[in-house]
Amino acid sequence: MSAIRQAVNHDRASEFGTGISIRRLSPAVGAEIDGIDLSRPLAAHEKTTIDEALGNHGVVFFRDQTLTPDQHIQFAAQFGQININRFFKSVDGHPEIAEVVKEAHQKANFGGGWHTDHSYDEAPAKGSILYAIDVPDVGGDTLFASAYAAYEHLSDGLKHTLQGLRAVHSSRHVFGAQSSTHLGQNDLKGRVLNPELATQDAVHPVVITHPDTGRKALYVNPSFTLRIEGWTAEESQSLLSYLYTHTQRQEFVTRFRWAKGSVAFWDNRSTWHLALNDYQGQRRLMHRITVGGVPLS
């Protein structure tokens, strides 16, 4: 039985008798969960439902939630230790929450290229939980891609080639003092902080075994991956470019349309995401919490 078919059968079974429903948004990635109030502590069966849906679908979505900052923190803490973001401005009085904002007069947005959060850390983030405070009337959607599906649809020959390869990831070129942001080449300056902390690189397998599900996933991304370890950037370019293009295949991607009160909870080890910047002249404000992870192998 395929992984997708197993996920479908499991989700159908999980709906019975709980008041919770799960609706897949695409064959490869994404599901919407209804019937759970995230503002209060989760019952055991609710947390299990979320954990299993996240494992099956990579990203789960909730609608019509009302969360104070403290409730957002309480929800996230049920899934692991919160990772304090060192580059984004935080919500006043709540350092656990990163403010992801684009004002109506600003042009550049956060996360406008395909990426996975914190791949530049030695222990990359387990998950990210994004809560919509203020959204455009139209636009500002987020795309998600499945790194599971991307790996599973490679040829056996390429899978064999990738085994044992490791890739170098970095924050320097995105958040560091010499990045376009801090050189004033876009208007993210003031929204992205602490360039002096963007000094670290990390090395991870190109193909990881997910620490929770045991499934294999591609773990490179266009925003933070620099090169294959032991290869030059030029030598790495062709292989990485192929993997990036492959992962963006239409059948591996879903699109989420935000509304005020929507929540997305994604697994950074098995998905990429990209925030569309198609809402010029409108404000978009989100609160994000990142849940810490473990070293990958």
SS3 letters across 164-226: CCEEEEECHHHHCCCCCCCCCCCCCECCECCHHHCCCEEEEECEEECCCCCCEEECCCCCCEE
What residues pair up with 23 in beta bridges, in sequence order?
32
How many Cβ atoms from other residues are within 10 Å of residue 184's Cβ? 9
**Among the options 24, 57, 115, 118, which is catalytic?**
115
User: Catalytic: 34?
Assistant: no
Q: Which two tokens stand for residue 14?
A: 């999980």
84 DSSP 8-state letter: P
**Among the options 72, 118, 204, 288, which is catalytic?**
288
Q: What pLDDT does 184 receive?
A: 60
All domains of the chain in start order, with CATH: 22-291 (3.60.130.10)
User: Catalytic: 201?
Assistant: no
Q: What pLDDT does 11 receive?
A: 52
Q: What pLDDT does 87 receive?
A: 87
**Among the options 204, 273, 284, 287, which is catalytic?**
273
pLDDT tens digits along 121-173? 999 999 999 999 999 999 999 999 999 999 999 999 999 999 999 999 999 88
Q: What pLDDT does 258 receive?
A: 99
User: Catalytic: 105?
Assistant: no
User: Catalytic: 63?
Assistant: no
**Among the options 11, 117, 121, 267, which is catalytic?**
117
Q: What pLDDT does 3 receive?
A: 44
Low-confidence stretches of the chain (pLDDT < 70) are 1-17, 180-185, 189
